[in-house]
Amino acid sequence: MSSEHSAQVVDRVYRQESGRILAALIASLRDFTLAEDALQDAVVAALRQWPATGVPRNPAAWLTTIARRKAIDRLRREGTLARKQETLHALEQLATTDALADAEEGPPIPDERLKLLFTCCHPALPLEARVALTLRTLGGLSTAEVAAAFLVPLPTMAQRLVRAQHKIRDAGIPYRVPPLPLLAERMEGVLAVLYLIFNEGYASTSGDALIRQELCAEAIRLTRVLVALMATEPETPDDPEVLGLLALMLLHSSRQAARVDAAGDLVLLEDQDRTLWNWAEIVEGMDLLDTALRMRQPGPYQIQAAISALHAEAPTPEETDWQQIAVLYARLAHMTPSPVVELNQAVAVAMADGAEAGLQLLDALRLDETLAHYHLYHAARADLLRRAGRLEAAEAGYREALTLAQNRIERRFLQRRLAEVSARLP
């Protein structure tokens, strides 16, 4: 086997399995940094050995076993601290029971990723560190990739990750699935991080398109893992919001190919070629949503997924059930009050009851400081003014939106609309 080939295998295994391997390593090492270092040692060993010996039958198990040994080496080299001696002793016990021969047979690595996810999303960590740590440890993204995704210089991101790892260790953030009284609250935090990763990819304000798509895919993959692992937790109740979030991501993701045209311009929902929608994702999203709704504990993610599903169900834009969407936005605004949700509600009302009805709601929102600086508020308002035939006001609205919009694709869209409106003005 050529060394290039095994390098590719190492790379693929690392991408697919590093989250699981790290989660298992951290469970026995109780130390993020040591686990990461040991896994890197194991990867180096794989790159050296696999070209000669061939790729082991269970590469992930091989990497885990070697990483444990490398951790023992590291601990022996530096370890005089009592706390480390304890870990070392436990590891040595483990090492005798899982010899490499077992790795060849492929013993299942216990899946500890749920613990890792809850630890990475612990509320005692700053939000940006939760996101970065989740992508780095569970997503298997390199620090450079995470830095690029969030447009942060590499050293800044590296420092952010190290600080978070140290806080986990020093402050005693537990490595476990939270007990029942804490679970609902902590799950909310986990879902928020996953949704943030998805949104950073889906509705980002700038950056490289490929990295963005990868973020969406990664968020969906991690949420799938969460759904699957929660199903295997015997003592935790089913949380329909987890299913709701996955449904929401899939339904949004289904429109990715139709959202941007060949020239890279943004295509609004009503103008999208619906044959470009990914029906496999839509069907899966709707099935998940049905399952969630049957549990009869509605939540913000389920409602947003339901709104997205109503769009997906409409064969043509004209057949969209805007009345129902306006009702759902009103419920969402009640559950999670936010100017952005109310903005969406106003747009839905405009579609259901006419542009003027929507404008009335929008003007009532105008006082809000956050919205005054939000380009989508001005874009939505300009759009309703355009529909109402108030072209001069619409023109001013698009100009206002353009002074605030950052995203290149969104700016081009607004410029197009502005040109259309200006052309119709006397």
Partner 1 sequence: MQYALLIYTNETADTKASQQEQEAVTAAYYAFGEEFKEKITGGEALMATTTATTVRVRDGKTLTTDGPFAETKEQLGGFYLVNAADLDEAIQIASRIPGALTGAIEVRPVMVFE
Binding stretches for partner 1 (CB under 8 A): 81-83, 122, 124, 170-174, 178, 182
CA dihedral sign, ordered 4, 20, 41, 100: negative
State the Cα–Cα distance between residues 396 and 421, nearest whole angstrom: 10
Task: Please identify, using beta-carbon distances, which residue of 174 and 237 lies nearer to partner 1.
Answer: 174
**82 or 423: whose CB is closer to partner 1?**
82
Which residue, 178 or 240, has its beta carbon nearer to partner 1? Answer: 178
- Nearest residue (CB) to partner 1, 124 versus 154: 124
C-alpha 99: how far from its chain's center? Answer: 37
Of 102 and 185, nearer to partner 1 (C-beta) is 185
Residue 1 or 124: which CB sits closer to partner 1?
124
CA distances from residue 229 to 96, 112, 222, 225 in whole angstroms, order as listed: 29, 9, 10, 6
Report in angstroms how near the CB of residue 143 gets to partner 1 at its nearest: 25
Residues 6+ apart with CB under 8 A from 127: 193, 196
Least distance to partner 1, CB of residue 172, Å? 5
CB 80, min distance to partner 1, A: 9
CB closer to partner 1, 168 vs 421: 168
* In the complex, least distance from residue 35 CB atom to partner 1, rounded to whole angstroms: 18
Q: Least CB distance from residue 123 to partner 1, whole Å? A: 9
The two structure tokens encoding residue 299: 């939540």
* Rounded least distance, CB 82 to partner 1, Å: 6
Q: Minimum distance between the CB of residue 178 and partner 1, rounded to whole angstroms?
A: 7
Question: What is the smallest separation between the CB atom of 83 and partner 1, expressed in angstroms?
Answer: 7
Please list, residue by residue across 130-149, b when 16 or more beta carbons sit within 10 angstroms of its beta carbon and e when fewer do: bbbbbbbbbbbbebebbbbb
Nearer to partner 1, 11 or 86 (CB): 86
Answer for the pair 384, 397: CB distance below 8 angstroms, yes or no.
no
CA distance 198 to 19: 18
CB of 85 to partner 1, least distance (A): 10
Tokens representing 74 are: 């590291």
> Which of residues 85 and 93 has its CB atom nearest to partner 1 in the complex?
85
